[in-house]
Amino acid sequence: MILVTGATGHLGNVLVRKLLERGRRVRALVLPGEPLTALNGLMVEVIVGNILDREILKRAVADVDTVYHLAGVISILSGDDEIMHQVNVTGARNIAEASLKAGVRRLVHVSSIHAFQREPHGKIIDEKTPLAIGSTDGAYDRTKAEGTREALKLVEQGLNAVIVCPTGIIGPYDFQGSELGRAVLDFAAKKIHFLVNGAFDFVDVRDVAEGLILAAEKGRRGEKYILSGNRATLEQIWQMAQNCSGCRSPRLILPFKLALFGSTFLQYYYRLLKLTPRFTPYSLQTIVDNSAFSCAKAVEELGYTARPLQETIADFIAWHREYYHPHFTSKKRRPAYRIKGARATENPG
């Protein structure tokens, strides 16, 4: 039996699909009230619970061979520090402790490229780069680094765990609408687009899911592996999305300082509307910072590969069109998962 936390998320449901294709039995830990659309038609056992509830985790890891820990909170807005610390740090420690106590053979802890300290341009960021412990660049960086450290502490106590750090994930099966997915779809729309000079590394969700499985099979205990893809500017992403959609829309590149000034105030406006803006001080800083990430270690030790970004964007837009087409949605299969009720806390995990 394999346990996947965060199974309804973008990466989580793609990983579940790949595990099922390999004939593995999968148990999914999902939040109370969380939509299970991403698991429709998949033969998985569902436990409703929360990684902040240790009693739930005891049940979740029972008779489990491998745990893939994907549950986490991502936020590019200010003010979410506490919830990110609870889930990304305390939750990571809880699942690692539960796995150790249950004698789980292998834990794959999914961290993030943001768990590494930001380095100046011209320097390659790899697994030897220090973790962003105490980072002032953002609560997400800091909590992912601290969560990674918690998992590594349990490795010192005997836990057989590996750490996987993906870059910006894009691709099909994005049922909940990730921030990057929404950005690509927006770029594919016919309207005026406002861009900023900046770049990041983007990777296909399917390649990351394969990388997680490779890490479980071949990764060395206590090691970190970066799963990166292709570095691209926002303008290049915009152009790829336009080409795939057949649109020919105008675009305007904003000066960085102007975009930063506006984002500082607009994030509070968006928070009142319960929306997430594309540009915040955190996201803007991220795309102008160094994003030269190396996946050489994962390639050499795990056999990891990443497909071209153009293929990823084309497949994502095609999937989105097919999934949301009326004729497609009317033919969705009925749910095949089994739900086991469980006591849960109110905080997300």
- Does residue 345 sit within a domain? no
How far is CA 346 from each of CA 34, 59, 325, rounded to the nearest angstrom?
A: 12, 18, 34
- Does residue 193 sit within a domain? no
- Give the C-alpha separation, 194 to 246, whole Å: 19
- Does residue 21 sit within a domain? yes
pLDDT tens across 46-55, in order? 999 999 999 9
Provide long-range contacts, Cβ within 8 A and 24+ apart, for 94-97: 94/51, 94/52, 94/54, 94/57, 95/5, 95/51, 95/57, 95/61, 95/67, 95/69, 95/71, 96/69, 96/150, 96/151, 96/153, 96/154, 96/159, 96/161, 97/54, 97/154
Greater model confidence, 317 or 247? 317
Both tokens of 237, joined, read 């992403």
CATH of residue 148: 3.40.50.720
- Does residue 69 sit within a domain? yes
- Does residue 246 sit within a domain? no
Q: How many domains does the chain have?
A: 1
Q: In this model, does residue 329 exceed pLDDT 70?
A: no
Average pLDDT over residues 107-115: 97
User: What range does the domain containing 120 cover?
Assistant: 2-170+202-228+292-307+330-340
pLDDT tens across 74-106, in order? 776 556 678 889 999 999 999 999 999 999 999
Q: In this model, does residue 345 exceed pLDDT 60?
A: no
pLDDT band of 271, cuts 50, 70, 90? low
- Percent of the chain at pLDDT exceeding 70: 87
- Does residue 102 sit within a domain? yes
- Does residue 238 sit within a domain? no
Q: Classify residue 106 as exposed, middle or buried by CB count within 10 Å of its CB (0-12, 13-18, 19+).
A: buried
- Give the C-alpha separation, 38 to 26, whole Å: 14
- Does residue 187 sit within a domain? no
DSSP for residue 118: P
Residue indicated by tokens 């909940």: 176
Element (H, E) at 4: strand 2-5
196, 201, 204, 207: CA torsion to nearest 10 = 180
Beta carbons within 10 angstroms of residue 156's beta carbon? 8
HEC states along 335-346? CCCEEECCCCCC
Question: DSSP letter string over 165-189?
Answer: EE-EEE-S--TT--HHHHHHHHHTS
